[in-house]
Amino acid sequence: MLETDFIPLGTSHLVAIVCTFLITTTIYYITTKNERVCKKLREIHLIWILTLALIGVHLAFVVYCLKSGLTGLEYLLPLHTCELSMFLLVAYCLTERKPQIQKHITYILYYWLMLGGIVSLFMPDTFGFGFPHFIFIQTFIYHGLQLIIGVYITASQKVQLPAFSILVAYSALLVVLPFVALVDSKIDGANYMFLNENVEGIFSFINAYQFGPIRLLIMSICVLLAFSILWICYWLLAILRSRLSSRPNSIKKPRSLSCTRTSRNFLSRKTHE
């Protein structure tokens, strides 16, 4: 059934969520369970393919909006964390031979990609368009790719996320925040990182505060809490994966079989004597 207007948690929305979840879990399973396939994916430079696909989907959105007049610079500049992640992904790909730098970029990417992808998956901004409108399809492909990339780079590279990785990702956000705030103040209607206008969904309580120190403080606390939840989820999955992978090695031979084999060896020696 086609939904020309977007319906939150409607049929098309739920289908998009389920498809994204299935693809993401498949990528996670492949990269953690099959080292041979994981190595092959690295050899074909899958991360470059996914990064270029993400950039291509975003550029298609920009071209469509400019041609149709749907929106302008107040919305299309790459200044949300979802779009800023594209630049970080290119830096990640280019620092393949610099593991220390790449590791810290991975810290930032994990939190930015996963937070932006999850929030946009459940509370997407499709300008009110439902399936099969281009904006609807582009929104879920783009943010679905974000989740896939976030899972892939952390699982395939066997990255360990220490607690201070939260501060690394948060500090990176603070570095770009003043520039984003400046752009918001200079372009009419701009609301990058939701610093000016109202926020919908679970963060709507922020709307009670005007742009200023209090609003920034509340948003900072929300971001830190969200990053902390993502960190906890990462380690819960890591512990679960470790236990599942060690289970086959812990299986011992049945005692009855071991005893039977020992008895046969004893009788054989007695016979020869």
> What integer pLDDT is reported at residue 257 of this predicted model?
45
pLDDT of residue 2: 55
215 or 173, which is more confident: 173
125 three-state secondary structure: coil
With a CB cutoff of 8 Å and minimum separation 6, the contacts of 36 are: none
Residue 27 has pLDDT above 90, yes or no: no
Q: State the Cα–Cα distance between residues 95 and 101, nearest whole angstrom.
A: 7
pTM: 0.81
pLDDT tens-digit profile of 174-197?
899 888 888 888 888 888 887 776
Q: Are 114 and 230 in contact (CB under 8 A)?
A: yes
Predicted local confidence at residue 31, as pLDDT: 82
Poorest-pLDDT segment among 4-8, 9-13, 81-85, 161-165: 4-8
CB count within 10 Å of CB 105 equals: 21
Question: What gap in Å lies between CA 129 and CA 4, rounded to an integer?
Answer: 6
CB 146 within 8 A of CB 169: no
C-alpha 196: how far from chain center? 26
Would the CA dihedral through 37, 39, 42, 43 be positive or negative? negative
| pLDDT computed for residue 136 by the predictor | 93
Predicted local confidence at residue 188, as pLDDT? 84
Q: Could you report the per-residue pLDDT of 230-240, keeping only the tens digit for each? A: 999 888 887 87
| Burial of 260: CB neighbours in 10 Å, binned 0-12, 13-18, 19+ | exposed
Please give the DSSP secondary-structure letter assigned to residue 210: -
Q: What's the full length of the chain, in residues?
A: 273
Per-residue pLDDT band for 269 (boundaries 50, 70, 90) equals: low
* Dist. CA 222–CA 195, nearest whole Å: 13
At residue 265 the predicted structure's pLDDT band, cuts being 50, 70 and 90, is low
pLDDT, tens digit (0-9, with 9 covering 90-100), for 104-159:
999 999 999 999 899 889 988 888 888 889 999 999 999 999 999 999 988 877 77
